[in-house]
Amino acid sequence: MKYLILTLSICFCLNVWGQDNNTYLRLTFIKAKEGSNYRENLTQKFARLHKQRIEDGIINGWDLWQVVNSRQTPFSHVIVTLVELSKMDSLYSGVNMQKVFPDMTDGDLENFYEENIKSRDIIGDYIITSIKSISNTNSSPDEFMVMNFMKVKEGKFKTFENMEIDLAMAVMPDEKFRTGWTLQKRIDKYGTDLYWNYLTVDWYAKYSDYIKASSMPAVDADKNYQSMMGIRDLRDRAVLRKIMSVR
């Protein structure tokens, strides 16, 4: 019976990035192993499991994103869990697996759990909070997002946040390709050796819009942007496509 209750360590939801200061996102970065059925497990089994977690009041939602051209990145999927502050203490609560999968025996559940571990590696697990979100549409986040991993200098956090927000608010009304923008801060860990401590997200309706935006003629940074570059580094960037959402 020990597999009837399973504490999960992969989750993700992304419906209201930046809309509520009482909501937090748990980001889990996964590298699926070649030849495994990991994506099938996510879409067919874990989606059902997280639906139960939502119904049980443990989390608020769960989404699955897949990296475009994942061979160039250390992770292939991002799984995120949206959690209200009032539910944070139950984030790691277990789920009655027999209730979710009544057609599976204890042996089936044990095999499912073991095969899932073999099919992927967990690259990173983070908690972030949203600071500001700007959208040019009234819909939920689009099909494609670009995650920009930032390392901001110690003692310059507020300055960086103000600069990013001012820049986004100035350019987003005339934006031709992005449908939205979000600024987020990592809060699960703190220290000078962190590889990244802030995250910005650019939203696109189509992958071709991202390509068009990236293909614009090069221009030198103006004085304001140079000032922002002086207090932060763009560590890395990843393009992802939404696979599914569970609410």
Point out the domain boundary residue: 126, 154, 176.
Answer: 126
CB contact at 8 A, 64 and 42:
yes
| Residue whose token pair is 């103000």 | 162
| Residue whose token pair is 């992958």 | 207
Q: Are 136 and 236 in a shared domain?
A: yes
Residue 18 has pLDDT above 70, yes or no: no
pTM over 0.85: yes
Q: Are 121 and 183 in a shared domain?
A: no
What share of residues in the chain are helix, strand, coil (percent, to 5)?
30, 35, 35
**What CATH number does the domain containing 200 carry?**
3.30.70.100
Model pLDDT for residues 142-187, shown as the tens digit of each residue: 899 999 999 999 999 999 999 999 999 999 999 999 999 999 999 9
Tell which wins on pLDDT, 91 or 193. 193
Tell which wins on pLDDT, 14 or 192. 192
If one counts the domains in the chain, the total is: 2
Cα–Cα dist 149/61, whole Å:
23
Compute the Cα dihedral for 6, 8, 14, 17 and give only its sign. Answer: positive
Point out the domain boundary residue: 91, 126, 161.
Answer: 126
Cα–Cα dist 124/73, whole Å:
13
Q: Are 52 and 142 in a shared domain?
A: no
Cα–Cα dist 182/184, whole Å:
7
Tokens coding 213 = 């935006």
Point out the domain boundary residue: 93, 126, 159.
Answer: 126
12 pLDDT band, cuts 50/70/90, is: very low
Model pLDDT for residues 28-83, shown as the tens digit of each residue: 999 999 889 898 999 999 999 999 999 999 999 999 999 998 888 999 999 999 99
Q: Are 90 and 149 in a shared domain?
A: no
Q: Are 114 and 136 in a shared domain?
A: no
Q: Are 15 and 111 in a shared domain?
A: yes
Residue 123's alpha-carbon distances to 34, 75, 161, 194, in angstroms, are 15, 7, 27, 15
Q: Are 82 and 152 in a shared domain?
A: no
Q: Which structural domain range is residue 56 located in?
A: 5-126
Model pLDDT for residues 206-239, shown as the tens digit of each residue: 999 999 999 999 999 999 999 999 999 999 999 9
Q: Are 49 and 83 in a shared domain?
A: yes
